[in-house]
Amino acid sequence: MNAPVSDMQAAAVARNAPGRFVTFEGGEGAGKSTQMRRLASRLEEAGVRVVATREPGGSPRAEVLRRALLSGKAAGLGAFGEAVLFGAARIDHIDTLIRPALAGGAWVICDRFADSTRAYQGAAGKAKPELIAALERVVVGPMKPDLTILLDLDPEAGLARARARAGGDAADRFEGEQLAFHTALRTAFLDIARQEPGRVRVVDAARAEHEIADEIWALTRAAFPAELKRGEQ
Ligand code: Z5A
């Protein structure tokens, strides 16, 4: 069920910036990067200025933290310690790229954001939920996404896609976790969607790329009807 436009725009109003903030979430290999590229092209064709970015990373300092986190060097800190580092990277990403881009009227499309901390470090990593929630309030504040596309896929299928793409390269810190971890992630993301139906849209990612892209475009247009009038066909 689509949320009322007023719900969808609540985050944007709280930020008081003209741009819109869209995030992609889901497990490994769900197709986030692929679908982000497709949505960015469609938005640009509709006359929208797009800044595509990712987490962890997206700014020079955050990319340094990305390397440490994905190499597994920070794993000894425990799930909440890692969450703090993801949070530090996110603060820099917000301050140097996301907030200025939104203030300038661009749409920011981000591959993963704070829902990944809730799912990976919180639900699957078992950091205390109240600590993860407190960290999110401090780090994200009013910079909540306007719309989150959750690409939902069976974890075995996602891991197989990620492995095929890697062509035998070693798994990173999180790809190396057991299937039970990835199954817990899927449940955690779906729980977030149930808790925040006004922001999060669940998309079945087991279909052909173009079918998924068409659904994401329809959802985006429904979420931002006034902004995407020019994209109507
Ligand atoms: N992490 C965290 O723990 N806490 C946090 O707060 C944040 C992140 C922000 C970042 O990894 C890691 O950091 C991530 C969570 C953790 N865990 N891991 N590992 P990353 O950025 O390197 O990778 P990722 O975010 O997990 O994404 P990915 O594995 O690169 O997958 P993807 O972007 O979702 O999929 P893709 O690259 O678009 O597609 C994967 C392959 O499938 C590729 O060959 C495509 O051509 C193919 N594909 C795509 N769509 C389809 C369809 N529809 N059918 C068939 N094949 C397809």
Class of domain 5-222 (CATH, top level): alpha beta
Tell me the per-residue pLDDT of 79-90, one tens digit each, with 9 for 90 and over: 999 999 999 999
CB-defined site of ligand 1, < 6 Å: 26, 28-34, 54-56, 70, 86, 111-112, 116-117, 120-121, 161-162, 165, 172, 174-175, 208-209, 212
Cβ–Cβ < 8 Å for 145, 113: yes
Helix axes 78-93, 60-71, angle to 10 degrees: 160
**Residue 168 — pLDDT band, cuts 50, 70, 90?**
low
Tell me the per-residue pLDDT of 87-142, one tens digit each, with 9 for 90 and over: 999 999 999 999 999 999 999 999 999 999 999 999 999 999 999 999 999 999 99
User: What is the spatial distance between Cα 35 and Cα 62, in angstroms, rounded to a whole number?
Assistant: 23
Helices (H), the chain: 5-8, 10-15, 32-45, 60-71, 78-93, 99-103, 114-116, 129-140, 155-166, 179-195, 209-223
